[in-house]
């Protein structure tokens, strides 16, 4: 069964997370979208998953029952790799072209979590 990028198959479980397509990165973001994101309020949440080889992961905002936000490697502003369970602060940025979904940008790991584990640095 062939799927278009970013679509779920009818057999995919609800726990499966798929990145948006095409991948929105800091490099491909327009100036107006970047300005909108920088003006948004800072939100807190927890990293659900992050795959360094793929360069992306997902964050669950605090107080959100089901919504998870996509995060790209280019939007992480700390020198450390994100780990599942990390508490993070971030801003929400609309994903083009419809601007109906959001992704996490300006992502920072909380200072408390940085000291908890041996950390891998970006190299």
Average pLDDT over residues 71-76: 92
Read off the pLDDT of each residue in 76-100 and give the average, rounded to a whole number.
89
Percent of the chain residues topping a pLDDT of 70:
80
Is the pLDDT at 1 greater than 90, yes or no? no
* Residues 39-71 pLDDT 10s: 889 999 999 999 989 989 999 999 877 789 999
DSSP the chain: ----TTPPPTT--TT-----SSPP-TTT--HHHHHHHHHSPEEEEEEEEEETTTTEEEEEETT-SS--EEEEGGGB-SSB---TT-EEEEEEEEPTTT--SEEEEEEEE-HHHHHHS--PBP-
């Amino acid at each position: 069964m062939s799927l278009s990028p970013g679509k779920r198959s009818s057999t995919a479980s609800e726990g499966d997370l798929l990145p948006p397509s095409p991948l929105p990165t800091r490099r491909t973001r327009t100036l107006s979208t970047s300005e909108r994101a920088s003006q948004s309020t800072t939100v807190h949440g927890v990293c659900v998953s992050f795959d360094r080889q793929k360069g992306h992961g997902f964050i669950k905002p605090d107080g959100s029952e089901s919504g998870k936000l996509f995060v790209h490697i280019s939007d992480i502003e700390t020198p450390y790799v994100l780990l599942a369970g990390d508490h993070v602060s971030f801003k929400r940025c609309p994903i083009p072209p419809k601007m109906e979904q959001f992704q996490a940008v300006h992502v920072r790991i909380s200072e408390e979590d940085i000291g908890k584990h041996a950390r891998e640095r970006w190299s």
